[in-house]
Amino acid sequence: MPKEHRKRGRKHKKSEKHDDEYVEKTTQVVEEMAVDPQQDAGPSWIRPAESEFNPEAPFGYVDADVKAYFRTVDSQMRDWQENAAYADESEDADPNEERRMFFVAALNEMREKEKQLATDPDCSVVLERMVHSMDDFVRRVFFDSLAGSFEVLSKHRFGSHVIQTLFIVAADTVGRETRGILPTVTEGEGRGELRTFTQLVLDACEELLPALPALIIDPFASHVLRAILLLLSPSSSSEDNRTLRSKRSSSWKAKQGSMKSVFEEKGEGRADVQKAVPPQFMATARRFVEHLRSSSDENETRVTGANNVAGPCLKMFLEIEAEEGLGEEPGSLMDRVTAGIITAYKAGNAKFEASDYVGTLLRDPTSSHLLETIVSRSPPRAFDILWDLYFKGMLARLAPHPVANFVVAKALERLSPVQMTDAREELESLWLRMIQTARIGVLRAFVERSASLGIMKAEVPKIVSSAFGFEVGGDHATLILCMLSVLTKEDYEAALNAKGKRPAAAENDARKHHHGPKESDPLQYKVQGSVLLQALIKMPESHNKFILDAVHELPMENKVHIAHDATGSRIYDALLESASVPQKAKRQFIMDFIGHYHELVDDRIGSRVGDRCWATSDTYLKEKVARSLIPYESQLAGSFFGKFFARNLYLYLLQRRPDDWRNMQSQKKQLQQQAPVSQKQDSIPNNASEAPMQEPTKDRGKKRAKPSDEIEELFEKSLGKKVKKAALGEEEKPRPAEKEDGEKESKKSKKDKKDNDRELDSVLGAIKSAPKHEDSGRPKKKHKRARV
């Protein structure tokens, strides 16, 4: 409004009566505004900031300076996690000291800002990274700081990931507390009592229990709930930490790099895996199931099972219910999803009707997982009714179905001998069709169930052969190739003709050197075929003999090609590891490669197959393999992958001292048999459990060990002293007197000098290339040597 123009002159004082009227009018207006709520609230577009709840930042926004600091923390921790080897290898310096000081500073900055940071899009992933590096005490403090806000955080887009990660890593801390391993807590005035992590988890469950129906259907909180159920009852759930996130979330997290403790050195890891839970956890899991049953009716439970978000949670509830023995009760979750089957047979009703709801679950890509759990966990009587209602007589439509075939495969794992006979009659005309559509899960489950029951010993080879278009007693070698490619005989031959019948090795080389876009190769080995072959090999001897004969009849070119393939080589691992495979068959398989080991190990995958063959062999067979490779010693030394296999052979020792070589191999075999089971179950290769013979032995208490007599002789020989060629460890000959005239040196002395130099180079090269680690001959990053 324009400013009022005041007139000149003397000001007139307002009368007292006018002042009283002004006060009365003002008071009346204030009272009317106080009475009228709309006038008090002001215009509709004005809202006080304090009374507004922002779902994106329910606990407030993070300052820009704090955000910038935690970006630095994330960058530094990410660099440490990706580069596990410590740069400082001096014995006096503690490599963890710098990291510990940095981590403590980040924790101090995080104090009283945990909730804001957890709901921030940039800082939430930093908290996830820091949780993996927290010790038990710091985790308890961090978990306690979030108490009272778990429901809000679980429903938040970013906070839910922090809570989920916290419950996943809680398994380590809870496992240690269950065994009585507690960190020392410093007591001080005004600090209060810090609850154990077990009690903190129980209190968090009590906080989330009233909101359970809302958490199941929430797209963010449902993943948190699955992590909680996995923590409470790890034995009853088929889920693992890798399947708790959605595919989109897993791909995004993979881009964030490795998430592990920055204080762990390579090779140590965390061995405190939770294997037992406190009894309070199982009681809490039971309360979760009972609360879900009481807070929802039958229709709501069925809707939950068909929901993409709530279905996986209901699947875990069904597994816990079956583990606790609550599934056979009328009105249970199992009874509701199966449309009242348990209630019907408990009431003595002999007539059952199929439900359209269960039929829908059979063909739904998401809900079929729920039905797989029902088929696997249902009581025996309920499973028989389910089989008669929904599977028997309908396998011709369900087995080739892209979704229902997985449920049928689960159902076959529980069939009785009588039910197996009926299933075989229905599936007899479908095997070939299932192979053509690459639905081999039903075939694998049928073969495994018949082997576990010990029935159909003569029918299994016929069923497998007919499924791929072969006759019993036909070309077994081609059968193996068709099974790996998941092609019938007719399709396999057509694919070979289309490719011009190029050799398998040439096809493998073409794939190795092909840098363009990937093309679909019908002859490429597939995971489904490899899994089927592995299942057949691991069956009892009466069932797997025809497969072992087929592997033996394979041409060497195809054998090497399979060994060089990452998918196909798995069948060799199963053959060498399975206890059901006779030792005679394993020995024959290893001997088949003699004369071709230099081709086998000249590959990244093939070298590991060679390591398994070497680890499985006895001393006599090892000597045959090693002597067959002596002519190819230089070729192996020049091979990028073959040199690692050659280091385990000690060919230089075999040629010079065969008896010592045999004693060394026998001692290594004994050490391998005496090794603990945890070492024998290490990753590929198997010879990782073999302890290499240390020649010479070193005293770890000293910085540098003295060389043995053998190495001293070699260095003395390089300076002119001569040793016997027959054995390196024998006494030295006296050094001949030096000739006055060097130009008149005899031809014999020149030849001896050349031989000595050549021998020195070969032995020193073999000693330098000996494996430094006990678990593998492949190069690894250096670790700081422990101080004695």
What's phi and psi for 94, nearest 5 deg?
-95, 110
**Are the C-beta atoms of 609 and 567 separated by less than 8 Å?**
no
Cα diameter, the chain = 143
Q: Which residues of the chain have pLDDT under 70?
A: 1-53, 84-95, 186-192, 240-243, 264-275, 474, 500-519, 675-788
CB 524 within 8 A of CB 514: no
Q: What is the pLDDT of residues 564-594, one digit of tens each?
A: 999 999 999 999 999 999 999 999 999 999 9
pLDDT, residue 688, reads 33
Q: How far apart are CA 780 and CA 534, in angstroms?
A: 31
How far is residue 292's CA from residue 296's CA, in Å, rounded to a whole number? 6
Does a cis peptide bond (omega within 30 degrees of 0) precede residue 696? yes
pLDDT of the residue at 542: 79
H/E stretch holding 771: none
pLDDT given at position 93: 53
CA distance 492 to 758: 53
Length of the chain: 788
Contact between 488 and 478 under an 8 Å Cβ cutoff? The reply is no
**Could you give the C-alpha distances from 345 to 329, 349, 352, 387, 390, in angstroms and in order?**
11, 5, 9, 15, 17
Alpha helices by DSSP H, listed for 516-568, are: 527-537, 541-552, 556-563
For the chain, percent of residues with pLDDT exceeding 90: 53
Q: In Å, how far are 323, 373, 380, 413, 441 from 423, measured between CA atoms?
A: 29, 21, 18, 12, 15
Task: Judge whether 347 and 341 are in contact, CB under 8 Å.
Answer: no
Q: Do the Cβ atoms of 698 and 704 come closer than 8 Å? A: no
Report pTM: 0.73
Give kind and range of the element (H or E) at residue 88: none
Ramachandran angles phi, psi of 388, nearest 5°: -70, -35
Amino acid, single-letter form, for residue 520: S
| Cα–Cα dist 39/655, whole Å | 104
- Joined tokens for residue 724: 């016997």
pLDDT of residue 366: 87
The pLDDT tens digits of the residues spanning 357-404 come to 998 999 999 899 999 999 999 999 999 999 999 999 999 999 999 999
CA neighbor of 340 nearest in space, from 389, 295, 376: 389
Token couple for 599: 């081709």
DSSP state at residue 440: -
